[in-house]
Chain A
Amino acid sequence: MATARRLDPLPNTPFQYGPKVDFTFEGKPFSGFAGEPLALSLLAGGVRVFGRSIKYHRPRAPMCLHAHCSSCLMRVNGRPNVRTCDTPCVAGLSVERQTGWPGAGFDLLRAIDVVYPEELRHHELFTSSSALSRMATPYVRRMSGAGELPSGPPPLAFPVERQSVRVVVIGAGPAGLSAARRLSQSGEKAVLFEADALAGGRLLDGATRIEGDGDSTGWQRWKAWSDPATLPGIELLCRMPVVAIYPGRPPTVVAVGEDRARIVQPQRVILCTGSYDQLPLFGNNDLPGVMTPRALDRMVLGHGVLPAEPVALVGDSDETLRLSARLLERGVALAGVVTRRRDGPLVGALQDKKVPLVFDREVARARGGRWIHELELSPQRQREPDRLLDCALCVAEAPAAPAFELGHHAGCRVFFGSQGGYRIAIDDTGRTSRDDIFAAGHCAGAADVTTAIRAGERAAATCLESLAHTP
């Protein structure tokens, strides 16, 4: 298996970071670049298993790299359950894995996975007598727990600012930035909350392309749009995820950052919360080394960290095919692309570069011990594999799940469709079922970035119109 490496940094990526800094990983000296996500410092340094799963003690490693999943949790500076993908690398950190016995790398409790190949019925375990249950409970808690308690109390000073502003935009991705621009152009003042360290959302993906209106890449659009100077009247707050909307009138929006919180009761809210990347369902889809396309995009194209190669890519979307091409440009070895797309310029370009393309197979399961080493492929709709694809990293695409939750907090109507999952219901002007809340982009079912940008602008226009009719 190839070892982890760092690619030469690109001058035009949105992700720029500081000098090399030292920290400790399980007591040993380690280094990374100041400001890069800690998970990437660890992957670049050869860490493979980040933790163990709660029940079967299966190995876990970063899957989404966008602070949505639970696969990169570690204990950082004595605090358990810290998302290392969302924690910047700084000098002097003390980082440890928190699960597994004797440790996460080699974990004897993995035996549970082997002993229960089908199902561990935790409802019925040790319940034959109350005495047995009492005896077993402390051990079960230790085996399945999520780390030890923090080493010390949290910082007590947690300033909470209350603010009065007419409009709040939640999420600074393509839809949110486009909504904020529209508000700014009309002289409206607004607060734009973003959970990530940088504004941009999908504009930060190297594989994003925006069509029409002078085609551009996501990074070009990001450069043009994320400069606060182009957004007069808009207060952009990064690393400030909104954690709640309380549904009164006006609604109460609560954003909580690392060391401060903000409470706002705006007259209007525009939800641009985006979506969560998903993995498809196949055997061992949780194996370390299996990631979402956007995780790999951010890690390799954005940050230049390549934990292993060759890379297998599974998916049919333009983004996944473009990601394959961009990886080749960066000199990354590809194991192959498993896709149902047989023609078109994106597929043609890969064929020209002699990338192995597999058209008539799907992934039956991933194989590997603590990291993926091959994919078993089967004819479509059958689970009997008849072909192997050696790889040391795999990205597999599934429809993203809209981030509908904040709309649901606020009482907006949400509905389900198998194609897009649960999403916030809107009309074609961006109105939700509440007349003071609007939604745009992937959280309301937009299928791509170009659509999301248009939807953001439209929702902002509708919002402005409704404010004009309010005394």
Chain B
Amino acid sequence: MPKTIVCRCEDVTEEDLKRAFERGFRDLESLRRFTGFGTGFCQGKSCLCHAARFLAAVKGGDDMVSDPPRTRPPLRPTPFAAFAGALPEADAGAEEKP
């Protein structure tokens, strides 16, 4: 079926954004929470701009688009081991092991 994909990670289409907007999800954050764009593996690297541009177009101006949704670490998938290794007690713990 010919779908126009905005978010490849979560399969969100351009039509999904339009329908969500009509249903009342009219700012970036609620649009994101409802459709799920930007919540997948890549965390919005290939869809956030498309969604923001869509909102700017339907609301009539770039200044109608809010700040981006809060971005939180990590920026890309990161093994837990990296964070476990960063704990102050990690070194001591490793030494105690037989």
Contact = CB atoms under 8 A, between A and B. Distances in A.
Interface of A: 53-56, 58, 60, 63-64, 67-71, 73, 81, 113-114, 117-119, 123, 146, 154-160, 195, 241-246, 254, 256, 261, 263, 276, 278-279, 281-286, 365, 399, 401, 403-406, 408-409, 414-418, 421-422
A117 B1 contact: yes
Contact of A278 (B50, B80, B81): B50
B71 A408 contact: yes
18 contacts: A53-B11, A54-B10, A58-B5, A63-B8, A69-B45, A119-B19, A160-B85, A244-B74, A256-B79, A261-B82, A283-B2, A284-B4, A286-B5, A409-B73, A415-B67, A416-B52, A416-B68, A422-B52
Contact of B82 (A58, A70, A160, A422): A160
A58 B19 CA distance: 21
Contact of A158 (B6, B9, B42, B85): B85
B71 A53 contact: no
A421 B6 contact: no
Interface of B is mostly: loop
B2 A284 contact: yes
A81 B48 contact: no
Interface residues of B, number: 50
A205 B79 CA distance: 30
Contact of A261 (B1, B8, B67, B85): B85
Contacts of A53: 8, 11
Given A243-B76, A286-B8, A261 B45 contact: no
Interface string B22-47: 00000000000010000011100110
Contacts of A243: 73-76, 78
Nearest to A53: B11
Q: Which of B78, B82, B86 has the most CB of A within 10 A?
A: B82
A101 B96 CA distance: 46
Contacts of B48: 401, 421-422
Contacts of A81: 41, 77
